[in-house]
Structure 1
Amino acid sequence: MIMRPGQQLLLPAKPLFIWGSLLSALLLNMLFNMGWWGRSAWTPDMLALVLVFWTVHQPLRVGIGAAFFMGLLMDVHQGALLGQHAMSYTVLSFLAIAVHRRLLWFSVPSQAAQVFPLFAAAHGLELFLRMAGGGAFPGWLLMLAPFLEAALWPVASIVLLAPQRRAPDPDANRPL
């Protein structure tokens, strides 16, 4: 792939870091659900954010199967309709794979604007499945979650790409 001028060449991502970050995002989602705000509809889905990030940056390591499995874990944790999160994460992962080559050509703020429709579609599908299963409408604050997830995209890019930006063997001339 031809790189943009000024773009840094990244080290390969370590599988242990990828799966550790996915597990951390899953635990953070579980913590959000048990926190003082409970299961608020406006809270960003950190697992969806990290899944999309790794699906875009490492589509051969994290894909639709991982998204489905993580979605089932979220369904079991929340006591939701089994397959609700699994279906939305699977569709989200599919859409991320569909745009991953084009998305990497843009700057990080432009990427955030382009992943917003993916997050909105995932939340819309999740709402549709919840309502079709006889669940209650969570409120209009649900519309805030995709905006928060897109706003967190630059933070996720900085944090999750940090281990790949270091020099392979630091010395006096390359202290990072």
Structure 2
Amino acid sequence: MNRPHYILLPVSPLFITFSLSCAFMLNLLPWGHWMGAPDFVALVLVFWGIHQPRKVGIGVAFFMGLLMDVHEATLLGENALAYTLLSYLAIMIHRRVLWFPVLTQALHVFPLLLATQAIQVLVRVIVSGKFPGWMYFIESVVAIALWPVITWMLLAPQRRAVDRDHTRPI
């Protein structure tokens, strides 16, 4: 409780668009089919859903899900459904999560990412009848390990002062 709380600058909509585009590009890389490669789009969506729920909502999550569906050549709407529910749940808990330190935030985000993967697996099992195995869920563990890094990177532009004044603590 003794950690300082800094007043953050407003986030730029261009930076949000840039971060979602970078997350999508990271998902386009060939490591996306490796076991344990995190879903960067889901991770960035849940981050912005918690930190900026009015700017990144369910509509953005649905659109990003459709883009991932096209990229992965999966059933159209599989990722869109999962990302929409992820965004809804992130917006629902955003006030509570922001009170905690980053590592505790990661523990709150972990069930959301697991639920997203469970929805994706459920749709795949219903459509194809094939279960990818329990190791499929290791992606959420890797994503949670990246949560402090993602938080630091995405909040960095908001921490800098507009005009530097060394006599002012904010």
TM-score tier (shorter): over 0.9
Residue 149 (structure 1) shift: 1.1
Deviates more, 1:45-54 or 1:148-157: 148-157
Which amino acid is 1:10 matched to? L
The structure 1 residue matched to 2:111, chosen from 108, 117, 121, is: 117
The match for 1:6 is 4
Question: Structure 2 matches for 1:62-81, cutoff 5 A?
Answer: 62-81=56-75
Per-residue CA shift, 1:6-26, capped at 9, x if unaligned? 201000000000111001100
**2:128 aligns to what SS in structure 1?**
coil
Deviates more, 1:74-83 or 1:132-141: 132-141
Contact 1:41 1:138 in 2 (8 A): no
Per-residue CA shift, 1:31-58, capped at 9, x if unaligned? 1xx24xx513421101100000001100
Residue 118 (structure 1) shift: 0.4
Distance 1:9 1:77, change over 3 A: same
The structure 2 residue matched to 1:25, chosen from 4, 7, 23, is: 23
Q: TM-score, normalised by structure 1?
A: 0.89
Question: Structure 2 matches for 1:135-146, cutoff 5 A?
Answer: 136-146=130-140
Q: 1:163, 1:112 → 2: CA distance?
A: 21
Which amino acid is 1:24 matched to? C
User: What residue ranges of structure 2 are gaps of 5+ in the alignment?
Assistant: none
User: What residue ranges of structure 1 are gaps of 5+ in the alignment?
Assistant: none
Q: TM-score, normalised by structure 2?
A: 0.93
**1:111 aligns to what SS in structure 2?**
helix
CA RMSD in angstroms comes to: 1.8
